[in-house]
Structures are given as structure tokens and as C-alpha cells.
Amino acid sequence: MEVISHFIDGKKFTKSDSRKSKVFNPATGEQIAEVELGSKEVIDLAVESSAKAFLKWSKTTPITRARIFTKYKELLVKNMDELAELVSKQHGKTIPDAKGSIQRGIEVVEYVTGITSSLKGEHSSNVGTNVDSHTLRQPLGVCAGITPFNFPAMVPMWMYPVALACGNTFILKPSEKDPSCPVRLAELALEAGFPAGVLNLVNGDKEAVDALLEHKNVQAISFVGSTPIAEYVYHNGTKNNKRVQALGGAKNHMVIMPDADVDKTTDAIIGSAFGSAGERCMAISVAVCVGKNTNEKIKNNLLEKTSKLNVGPYTDEKSDFGPLSSKPHYEKVLGYIDSGEKEGAKLLSDGRNFKKQGYENGYFVGPTIFDDVKPEMKIYKEEIFGPVLSMMTTNTYEEALNLVNEHELGNGAAVFTKSGNIAKHFTENAKIGMIGVNVPIPVPVAYHSFGGWKRSLFGDHSIHGPDGVRFYTKLKTATVTWVEDNAGPEFTIPVLS
Ligand code: NAD
């Protein structure tokens, strides 16, 4: 059986006596590999390697770093098929879905090929007589990233390209559920020309995360995962004086106005609620219809289209979405459907007994739709992270907006309408980090920043784009004058009184 190891200091690193965890193909339920779980000792080695690499890497010019990223981008594109296969085999998503997500990661790499512009400082002449001021953005040192199972390529690429381009070195701790693609990304980085130690990877679980949170030479932590762990990482990281950005879970609403185009809206719901089996932090999981008529029209159209969806393994090109990623998660999602039924929501489409011939042990759940969901129900309050849509109906737009704003999570939300006024009002008043107007999954592109509000993000910075550069750099301001020898006091600066 394949054993997936770490990647430290430019080579695979194995510690044969380490704890291991099983890696599965979720479409078949078969174990396909095991992954080593890094201990504190392994983290110490990785930090030592990253700290050593930082001494030289931080002194390279931004254009040198950008050129290596250009080469890296070419390698990622060239190896796209292999990378997508690694993602799909261990996560379960379809190949087009896997490729789409890798492409979004590559766009961050493309963004940082222009890092020279982002690292330019500001300059003010004559802040005093013969005195100028300018700012510098300098790297932090060794940074670390902890990533979730649902995007094993894209989410790591939200982090390390920006960190490295800013002159930091980086340790990636990917999800232990689907670690092979991240390891390959690290190998390709070495091939592209990043020196050994600039990008290290340690596989693992809580033990490795805790070791990173406690290590005195780790300066910053980026985390993406569930809200309870995001909160834990934020508090423990900041307690140890690290800069932390911790992105958590989501419950994304789509508000559907009576004037929304029924066909386009239901197509958008199908893609965003069931695509990737609902395992997206930007998935729409709540459809709020304004008015009973809207609910009727959307519901009927949705049920008709949902019945035509193909659920199956990534190896079948006809599959619209695949299985859930692991058995415990599969059981958790089934538990939520049971709970919704018990709490009195109307189950319009039940994905619990879905079986795929030849894949009876796979973790498949069919598209599931509840109507008449109420705010106090568990299926509304909590993130399900599966192909389960909750439908609700309100009498007015204000009530719908209120639902969005009262929810404790605030990653994304969309409004579907033909009214510019409603769209503007929603964009300005929804307490949410990423808004879609007639766009169901409003994931910001690489040169904007990604991040939620409320309990969907702990910390002050969103990820990638300009906020990513701010997160991975420290601001310095220099005030400068040049005085000729014996020229006397020829400069003045404003004095605080
Ligand atoms: P998770 O929180 O279980 O795990 C995320 C990472 O934390 C993994 O690397 C894991 O090894 C580590 N981890 C798990 N338990 C830990 C513990 N007790 N202590 C320390 N570290 C621990 O999340 P997941 O199940 O892998 O991913 C799904 C979640 O991620 C969903 O909630 C989803 O919404 C969220 N997510 C959020 C975003 C976003 O941008 N906001 C993006 C993708 C996924």
C-alpha cells in the first residue's frame, strides 16, 4: 500500500515509526493509501529548514521570485491531468470540477507573477524641509498554512504563492484526507526552481497543527476549514503572538425575488447547491423565496431538473457530482437529513438511499431538498456540507435580508432579481463577506481577496489578492534626509506638540 510522506528541504521525508491515517477512494469506499501524520519533531525539522531557506529567499528580488512563478505556472498547466486525477481519486469530485478548482489556484500563481507591482511602497517628498518618507513591505519569515479536504489544490494555492512571492518561506499542512495532490504541488515547486526549504509540506492532524501554533519561529498562520477549528487556531495562534487569518464554515443564502428568472435561478441553484456534492464553502445551502408564488415556481422547476442529475464516480464522464469525501462525513450528512425530517421540514427529495450500481460501498448521497425550513431547525443553523438544500419562504425582501443577517455565518450570499434597487440594497446591507448579484457562487478572482464575515473568518485579513499581500508582509515607514557634512541643521520635520 502506498505510504504518503512529507516533503521537507527539497525531498520526500519519511519517518517510519510515525502514526498514520488511512486515505480512501470515496467512490468505492476502498482504502488506497496511508499518510504519515507529522509529530512535533517533524514540524521542528520543517521549521528549521524553512528558517534557513528564508535567510536567502527573503533577499531575492521580487522579479526573480516572479520569474520562478512563471515557470511554476507552466508546470502546473502541463501537469493538470495528473493533478486533477489525484484530487478526484481522493476527494471524489468530478474531473471537470477538480480542473476548475486547480485553474482557480493557478490564477493565484498568475497573480503573483505581478508581485513587483504589489510590493511597491508609497513615497512622499518633503514631509519636512529636505525630508522624504517612503514605505516598505517586508516579509514576515516562516509562515504556515493549514487546509481543508474539500479543495486540496486550490486552497493551498490561495496561500503559499502569495506568501512566497512576498519573500516568506512556507510550511503547508494539508488535509490528511486527500494529501497526494498537495505533495505533488510541492514537488513541482522544486522543479520550477524554488530552492529547497522555501516550500515544505508536513502531513498530519491536530498534533502537527498544535506544533505549528506553538513554534516560536512560525510568524504567521493561514487556516481554512470548519468554524470551530478556525476559532481554535485563531485564539491559540494569536495567544502565541502569531499573525493569524482563519477562514471557517458557511451557510450561504440565495434570496430569490418574485421578478427573478425562474429557469436561470433554478440552474444556478442546482450548480451551486449540488455541485461538488455541496462540499464547497461557497455552496448555496439555503434558498429563500420571497412570496409563496416564487416558492412554488422555483420548487417545481427545481424538482424537475434535480431528478435528471447524474450522481456517480469521477471516472464516469456523465457524473454531475460525486460521493461525499469520507465515511464519517457521509454519516454526518445522513444524520442531518434525519434531523430535518424529525424537526418537521418537508422532505421534497430524499438522497439518503441513493445507491450507484457497482459502487455500493461509495459515500453517495443524492440531491436532497427540504421545504418549509424554519430558522430554529438544526439543518438551518448548522453547516451540512453535503448536497442538501433548505428552502424557506418569506413575505417580504426585508424578512429575507434579516434571515441572512441573523445567521451566525457570513461567508457568501446571493440575490436573484431584475431590480437594480434591490441588488444595490442587498449588496450594501447584507452582513456577508462575498455577495453575488444573479451570480450564485461569487468567489472573488485571484486579484481580489476572498473572505467572509462574522464566524466565517477570524482575523483581520481575507486571503489572496491585495489582502493576501498585506497579511504576508510587514509595513515599515522610513523618514529620510541627507545632510552634507558641516552644512548645519538644514532640515526640519513636523514636530508633535
Ligand atoms: P476541518 O476544520 O475539520 O479541518 C481543516 C484542517 O484542520 C485540516 O488540515 C485538519 O487536519 C485540521 N484539524 C482538524 N481538526 C483539528 C483539531 N482538532 N485541531 C487542530 N487542527 C485540526 O475542516 P474540513 O472538514 O477539512 O473542511 C471542511 C470545512 O472547511 C467546512 O466547514 C468548510 O466550510 C470549510 N471551508 C471554508 C472555506 C472558506 O474559505 N471559508 C473554504 C473551504 C472550506
In the 3-class helix/strand/coil scheme, how is the chain assigned residue by residue?
CEEECEEECCEEECCCCCCEEEEEECCCCEEEEEEECCCHHHHHHHHHHHHHHHHHHCCCCHHHHHHHHHHHHHHHHHCHHHHHHHHHHHHCCCHHHHHHHHHHHHHHHHHHCCHHHHCCCCEEEEEEECEEEEEEEEECCEEEEECCCCCCCHHHHHHHHHHHHCCCEEEEECCCCCCHHHHHHHHHHHHHCCCCCCEEECCCCHHHHHHHHHCCCEEEEEEECCHHHHHHHHHHHHHCCCEEEEECCCCEEEEECCCCCHHHHHHHHHHHHHHHHHCCCCCEEEEEEECHHHHHHHHHHHHHHHCCCCECCCCCCCCCECCCCCHHHHHHHHHHHHHHHHCCCEEEECCCCCCCCCCCCCCCCCCEEEECCCCCCHHHHCCCCCCEEEEEEECCHHHHHHHHHHCCEECEEEEECCCHHHHHHHHHHCCCCEEEECCCCCCCCCCCCECCEECCEECCCCECHHHHHHHCEEEEEEEECCCCCCCCCCCECCCCC
- Other Cβ atoms closer than 10 A to 344: 11
pLDDT at 369: 98
DSSP states of 265-305 as a string?
HHHHHIIIIIGGGG--TT-EEEEEEESHHHHHHHHHHHHHH
Ligand 1 atom closest to the CA of 151, numbered from 1: 43
pLDDT at 482: 86
pLDDT at 51: 98
Active site residues: 281
State if residue 200 touches ligand 1 by the CB under 6 angstroms criterion.
no
Ligand 1 atom closest to the CA of 176, numbered from 1: 11
List all residues 6 or more positions away from 35 whose beta carbon is below 8 Å from its beta carbon.
3, 4, 20, 21, 23, 176, 179, 203
How close is the Cα of 331 to the center of ligand 1, in Å?
17
Cell 456577508 maps to which residue?
432
Low-confidence ranges of the chain (pLDDT < 70): 484-497
Q: Which residue's CA is the nearest one to ligand 1's atom 32?
A: 226
Q: Give residue-wise pLDDT tens across range 86-125.
A: 999 999 999 999 999 999 999 999 999 999 999 999 999 9
State if residue 452 touches ligand 1 by the CB under 6 angstroms criterion.
yes
How close is the Cα of 82 to the center of ligand 1, in Å?
25
DSSP states of 405-421 as a string?
HHSSEESEEEEE-S-HH
Q: Which domains does the chain have, with CATH numbers?
A: 2-248+456-478 (3.40.605.10), 252-437 (3.40.309.10)
pLDDT at 483: 75
pLDDT at 12: 97
Instruction: Please list the residues that pair with 315 across neighbouring strands.
Output: none
How close is the Cα of 395 to the center of ligand 1, in Å?
36
User: What does the radius of gyration of the chain's CA atoms come to, in whole angstroms?
Assistant: 24
State if residue 148 touches ligand 1 by the CB under 6 angstroms criterion.
yes
pTM: 0.96
State if residue 281 touches ligand 1 by the CB under 6 angstroms criterion.
yes
How close is the Cα of 248 to the center of ligand 1, in Å?
7
Q: Which residue's CA is the nearest one to ligand 1's atom 18?
A: 206
DSSP states of 363-383 as a string?
-----EEEES--TTSHHHHS-
Measured CA to CA, the distance from residue 98 to residue 362 in angstroms comes to 19
pLDDT at 486: 62
